[in-house]
Amino acid sequence: MLVAEGAADSEVLVEIASLARAAGVPVRVVDRGQLSAAAQTESPQGVLATADPLPQAELEDLARRHPGRPAPFLVVLDGVTDPHNLGAVVRTAASAGSSGLIVGRHRAAGLTAAAVKAAAGGVEHLPVATVAGIPNALSALAAAGVWTVALDPGARKPVWGLEVATEPVAIVLGAEGKGLSRLARDRCELAVSIPMPGPIASLNVSAAAAVACFEVARSRTTQAD
């Protein structure tokens, strides 16, 4: 772990360094220029740790029901290329109780440093599976008994009160601007929209993910009562 010179002025950095040392992590104090050069994000906040690569989850594991645990609640991102949006979705999905995220390998944001930072701890809790193609992954999920639900602004059925929310379910979100690819949309078993009563009808993908994920969370808690 690298800590910026002058970090002793910051209570939280002192605490981070002390926790790291207690855990046996070597801590080196460097000047701010060195830290910025080593960082892969804009405006690093005075500390940088090198970690093992995140473990990769397998699609089949994410689709499987585990006894004593809620039914799988997955989020599938089709062609989301902005790492901040990816990170924001990870954070929101983890908070809403999602059990896994599925992203494509191509034309998609990876879990870069910027995405991990935006996820604010979420990546440590939400298993992520990277797949070669989203359409095939959707077919595999359906075959494994997971309802695939496209979030599609053109769908007439609202996301409110989604009947399959308590069953194994995957919420499928498209890219900012372009939306879901035709192929991905066609592979989904259901399509729902977020009704937007306002004068504009435009949600960032992370806002749409927040609304849809917490609608699943709401249905799961209120239907379980």
Least distance (Å) between residue 90 CB and its own copies: 10
Check residue 203 for interaction with its own copies (CB under 8 A). yes
Pick the closest to residue 48 from 94, 113, 135, 122 (CA basis): 113
Check residue 211 for interaction with its own copies (CB under 8 A). yes
Least distance (Å) between residue 207 CB and its own copies: 4
Least distance (Å) between residue 1 CB and its own copies: 22
How many chain residues touch its own copies (CB under 8 A)?
A: 38
Contact 75, 171 (CB under 8 A): yes
Least distance (Å) between residue 100 CB and its own copies: 12
What track of x and - describes contact with its own copies for positions 84 through 113 (by CB under 8 A)?
Answer: ----x--xxxxxxxx---------------
Q: Which stretch binds its own copies (CB under 8 A): 49-57, 75-83, 178-186, 200-208?
A: 200-208
Secondary structure element (H or E) that encloses residue 13, with its range: helix 11-22
Least distance (Å) between residue 213 CB and its own copies: 9
C-alpha dist (Å) from residue 99 to 7, 24, 50, 58: 36, 31, 26, 12
Check residue 68 for interaction with its own copies (CB under 8 A). no
Complex with its own copies: residue 8 or 201, whichever CB lies closer:
201
Q: How many residues does the chain have?
A: 225
Q: Tell me the one-letter amino acid at 31.
A: D
C-alpha dist (Å) from residue 120 to 3, 84, 123, 162: 19, 11, 8, 28
Restricting to residues 136-195, name those near its own copies by CB under 8 A.
158, 160, 194-195
Q: Supply φ then ψ for residue 164, to 5 degrees.
A: -90, 10
Least distance (Å) between residue 62 CB and its own copies: 15
Number of H helices, E strands in the chain: 8, 9
Bridge partners for 150 per DSSP: 172, 191
Give the footprint of its own copies on this chain (CB under 8 A): 70, 88, 91-98, 120-122, 125, 158, 160, 194-204, 206-208, 210-211, 214, 217-218, 220-222
